[in-house]
Structure 1
Amino acid sequence: MAKTLMLINLVTILFLLIFPLLAVSLEDEEIEGEYYVLDSVPANHSARRSSRYLITSVIKKIKKGTSCDAKTNPNVCNGVSANNGTSLLYCCKKHCRNVLGDRNNCGACGYKCRFGERCCGGVCTNVLANRTNCGKCSKKCPRGVKCDYGYCGYA
C-alpha cells in the first residue's frame, strides 16, 4: 500500500514538471488561420491588367502548405512576403512554408529548432526561459519577472 502511494506521488510530480514543457511544444503558430495573405500581388499574377481597379483590389491568398512543384505551380512562394511582413514564404520540399515561424524550416528550409525552442522571426529561440519570448514568440514578461518553463513568474 505504501509503495503504491509513493508511486502515485512520483507520477504526479513528474506530470507537474513535464506538462508545462509539453504544453509549450504542442502549440504551433502555423495552425492559426488557414491562409497567408500576400503583402503584394506577385508580378506573375494571372489577373487581367486592363483595369487599374482590378489590380489594386485583388487580395492574393495562398493556402498554408500549398504545393510549389516546379511543374504544376512554379514560383508561387519564392521569397514572398505575407501577413504584413510577419511571414516569409519559401518552397520547402514542394510546399510553401513560412521560414519566419515554422519550427521545421526556421530561417531556411530544413533548419529545425530543438525541443523547447520556437521559430521567432526566423531564429530558433528557447521560449522556456526567454523574458521577451516567454512560452511563445513576442510574449514579454513584465519588468522584473522571470520566465520559467514558458510562464512569466511561474514560481
Structure 2
Amino acid sequence: MRIGLISDTHGLLRPEALDFLAGSDHIVHGGDIGGPDILERLAAIAPLTVVRGNNDTAVWARSIPETARLEVGGIAVYVIHDLKALDIDPGAAGVRVVVSGHSHKPASAERGGVLYVNPGSAGRRRFSLPIAAGELLVDGGRVEVRLVTLAP
C-alpha cells in the first residue's frame, strides 16, 4: 500500500506534486493547506486524510481537525501539523508512524519504535529549503518511508 504524504502547500499545488502522488492508495496532508481547492484536487487522486495547519484560519478550514488517526495495512498513523504540539505518547497509543508538517524541512527519524515523518513543503518555497513530498510504503506490517525532492 502506498500512502502519499504532502504538507504546507499554502495554496499552491504544483504539477510535480500531483504527478508524484498519482497512484497513491491514500493521501495524507499535514496542514497549511491554503484553500479548499487543494483538498478537492487531492481527493480526486485517492482517499484523503488532512489536518488543519496554523495558517488554515479561514472559514472553509474550521471543520478540519487538528489531528487525525488512520489505520493503513495494519499500521496506525497519527497526523498533526506541528510536532511540537503532539499531545499523545505515540508508542503507548499504538501509533507506528507520526506525520507532521510545519517546519518545511523534509525529515524522517525513528525513535522508540515510532517513525516520525515530515514530507517537507510542497507549496511555496521558504528560504533555501527544497520543494518536497513523501510516501509511506506499507507491506505486511512493515513500513518504509521515502522522501523526494520535487524541485531543488
TM bucket normalised to smaller:
under 0.3
Ranked by relative contact order (alpha carbons within 8 Å, sequence separation 6 or more), the top structure is 2
Q: State the TM-score, normalized to the length of structure 2.
A: 0.23
Larger helix percent: 1
| Greater share of residues in strand | 2
TM (norm. structure 1) is 0.23
